Amino acid sequence: MKNGRGNRVAVVGTGFVGASYAFALMNQGIADEIVLIDANENKAEGDAMDLNHGKVFAPKPADIWHGDYDDCRDADLVVICAGVNQKPGETRLDLVDKNIAIFRSIVESVMASGFQGLFLVATNPVDILTYATWKFSGLPQERVIGSGTILDTARFRFLLGDYFAVAPTNVHAYIIGEHGDTELPVWSQADIGGVPIRKLVESKGEEAQKELERIFVNVRDAAYQIIEKKGATYYGIAMGLARVTRAILHHENAILTVSAYLDGPYGERDVYIGVPAVINRNGIREVIEIELDEEEKKWFHRSAATLKGVLARYFAQ
């Protein structure tokens, strides 16, 4: 265990996602200390060695080591990437039974260390497991965050930018709801350079509208496509986790589509679900309630109901 000299991030689970996330943290110089924790201690130790060998190339070298749950005591952020991965043909919700028990053990071990920081959850189904982390930890809801639809939103912006031939950073659009099959695009509020996307396609006719629908389907089903081709998704979500981490540790007050607890916004209560939220050093400062049209409201409520139906099997609602 190192002595705390700055922002410490503990990564629980050093599989594809956890290792890629740690790599992104080091490359972007986001954290001062990175501790890697895994049931396979040799894997965590090997990753720490490998990352340390690249320190000379990093913009701000971090202290990196493999550790255990005691190292979470002084962590500012614990990021959970552990659990059973999605296999070809499986939905994210198929993973609940396998991962709830794993999470109970992880979260209780983290809390036993005296941890007083924030949790960031990446493991799928992320909305369910973020709720579980909140319940198991006993922490205030704003200090438990899920990666939510941050990656779906990034995919959406990328594909729309590609279609309209503009930089994705100039595309302003959200995917909200479950990080899964019931997520939805907020077309009513999507714009490029201040021009609504719906207006941009008006003059292009029905085929353009169909192309937008295909773009969303490709966003929603991207994980299935990638898993079939290479077995797992990890680079995109690792970059997304790094972005959330920077917003937290640098107290940015950035708006990101994370899995946040709702207690009234969007007409929903007692569910973690992907929505835009202001993120800073204290966690979720507030949920941003964007205006949805009637169809989007129905879609969002259906998504929340899907999650609540799963949660009811494990937690008293």
Q: Which residues are catalytic?
A: 179
In order of 13, 60, 94, 213, 308, the CA distances from 82 in angstroms are 4, 26, 16, 33, 23
Closest CA to 180 of 135, 215, 148: 148
Tally of residues, the chain: 317
* DSSP state letter for 30: -
Q: What share of the chain is helix, strand, coil (3-state, %, to 5)?
A: 50, 20, 30
A 10 A CB-CB count for 221 gives 11
Q: Torsion-angle region of residue 192: left (phi > 0), alpha (psi -120 to 50) or beta? A: beta
Q: CA 154 → CA 16, 18, 248, 298, distances in Å? A: 19, 19, 19, 23
Which residues are paired to 262 by β-bridges?
Answer: 271
Longest dimension (CA), the chain: 62
Cβ atoms of 35 and 9 within 8 Å: the answer is: yes
Report residue 258 as tokens. Answer: 């994370």
Cα–Cα distance for residue pair 178/195, rounded to 1 Å:
27
Residue 134, number of CB atoms within 10 A of its CB: 23
